């Protein structure tokens, strides 16, 4: 079996199995894959698991950990640009990755902006983090050749029964001198548990969105600010869409499947009768 088949099978399997135990299932699948290091690595980087929180020692602020700010067992803080646990300087190994200095300036501003976004949408609680990385070979290109990044939010209800992890990975690709393509993949892990009965609704949804924007630098807005506006609007829109979708799937679709496919609330015969009555009523209204 080829590596690609193994990766596809692993991902398909994770889409079938209970998302609430995705971490242990992922560990078990990695054990099954055994010595296939490249498949394991690829799998770990393409599956979203609930985000871990770490505290930045320098700023005292919490930040989120994912594959994009990781180096071995350390994670880079977006607030101080430092890795924790700290990485010792070592001549034999490559230094851990950092964004170029121009990109780091944008990363600082993006973290500020999305921290405000978090305050507004997550009602003052939760944690946000933004990580950017260079995609161009040419280190001196600044922002002109595009870049990529991830915007993360995590929040729990005060009783810890509800958990939200959202993960927006994007790529910024210059299409021409005045046009930039923003490609976004949004995934949200939502885990809800009833405090009255043994009922849980959990899982994740993924959606993609992209937008192509004209760059207008003549009205006092520089390229950096232009990126902040475009990315902010795109992510705000995508999170709005996926929140509506989650509402639809978790509360309407699942309830419908329960009542219409598995155990109806009333006698099906009566229901069928009422449905036909209602459709007649609608027909009647439409003809008015």
- Within 10 angstroms of residue 184's Cβ, the number of other Cβ atoms is 20
| Shorter beta-carbon distance to other proteins: residue 76 or 189 | 189
- Min dist CB 74 to other proteins, Å, is 29
Would you put residue 51 in left (φ > 0), alpha (ψ -120 to 50) or beta? beta
The answer to the question of residue 177 lying near other proteins (CB under 8 A) is: no
Closest to other proteins by CB, 73 or 123 = 123
Residue of 265, 286, 287, 288 interacting with other proteins (CB under 8 A): 265
- Determine contact, residues 61/55, Cβ cutoff 8 Å: yes
User: Which segment (51-59, 68-76, 97-105, 238-246) binds other proteins by CB under 8 A?
Assistant: 238-246
Question: 109-119 burial by CB neighbour count: b if 16+ within 10 A, else e?
Answer: ebbebbbebbe
For other proteins, the closer CB: 94 or 199: 199
Q: Which of 111, 113, 83 lies closest to 98 in space, CA to CA?
A: 83
Q: Using the rule CB under 8 A, is 214 a contact of other proteins?
A: no
* Cα separation, 22 vs 203, whole angstroms: 9
Pairing of strands 70-71, 83-84: unpaired
Window 18 to 47, contacts with other proteins (CB under 8 A): 18-21, 24-25, 28-29, 31-33
Q: Is 184 in the site for other proteins (CB under 8 A)?
A: no
52 is an interface residue for other proteins by CB under 8 A: no
By CB under 8 A, residue 253 contacts other proteins: yes
CA–CA distances in Å: residue 212 to residues 179, 187, 231, 234, 241: 7, 21, 11, 10, 18
Interaction with other proteins in 143-172: which residues (CB under 8 A)?
A: 153, 155, 157, 161-164, 166
- Three-class SS state of 23: helix
Q: Which is nearer to other proteins, 2 or 287 (CB)?
A: 2
CA torsion 105→109→110→111, rounded to 10°? 100
Six token digits for residue 111? 């973290």
Q: Kindly tell me which of 75 and 182 has the beta carbon lying closer to other proteins.
A: 182
Residue whose CB is less far from other proteins, 71 or 224: 224
How big is the site for other proteins, counted in residues (CB under 8 A)? 87
Q: How far is the CB of 286 from other proteins (least distance, A)?
A: 26
């Amino acid at each position: 079996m080829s590596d690609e088949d193994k990766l596809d099978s692993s991902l398909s399997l994770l889409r079938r199995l209970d998302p609430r135990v995705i971490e242990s299932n992922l560990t078990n699948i990695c054990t099954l894959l055994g010595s296939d290091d490249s498949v394991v690595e690829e799998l770990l980087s393409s599956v979203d698991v609930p985000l871990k929180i770490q505290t930045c020692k320098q700023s005292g602020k919490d930040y989120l950990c994912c594959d994009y700010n990781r180096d071995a067992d350390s994670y880079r803080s977006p607030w101080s640009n430092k890795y924790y646990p700290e990485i010792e300087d070592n001549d034999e190994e490559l230094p851990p990755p950092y964004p170029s200095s121009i990109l780091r300036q944008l990363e600082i501003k993006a973290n500020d902006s999305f921290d405000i976004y978090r305050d507004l949408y997550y009602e003052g609680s939760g944690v946000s983090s933004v990580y950017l990385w260079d995609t161009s070979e040419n280190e001196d290109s600044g922002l002109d050749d595009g870049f990529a990044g991830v915007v993360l939010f995590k929040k729990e209800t005060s009783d810890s029964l509800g958990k939200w992890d959202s993960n927006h990975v994007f790529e910024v690709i210059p299409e021409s001198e005045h046009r930039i393509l923003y490609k976004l993949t949004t995934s949200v892990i939502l885990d809800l548990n009833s405090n009255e009965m043994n009922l849980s609704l959990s899982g994740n949804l993924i959606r993609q969105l992209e937008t192509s924007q004209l760059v207008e630098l003549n009205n006092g807005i520089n390229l950096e600010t232009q990126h902040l506006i475009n990315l902010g609007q795109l992510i705000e829109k995508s999170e709005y869409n996926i929140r509506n979708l989650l509402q639809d799937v978790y509360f309407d679709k699942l309830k419908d499947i329960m009542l219409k496919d598995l155990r109806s609330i009333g006698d099906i015969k009566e229901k069928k009768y009422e449905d036909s009555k209602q459709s007649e009523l609608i027909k009647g209204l439409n003809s008015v």
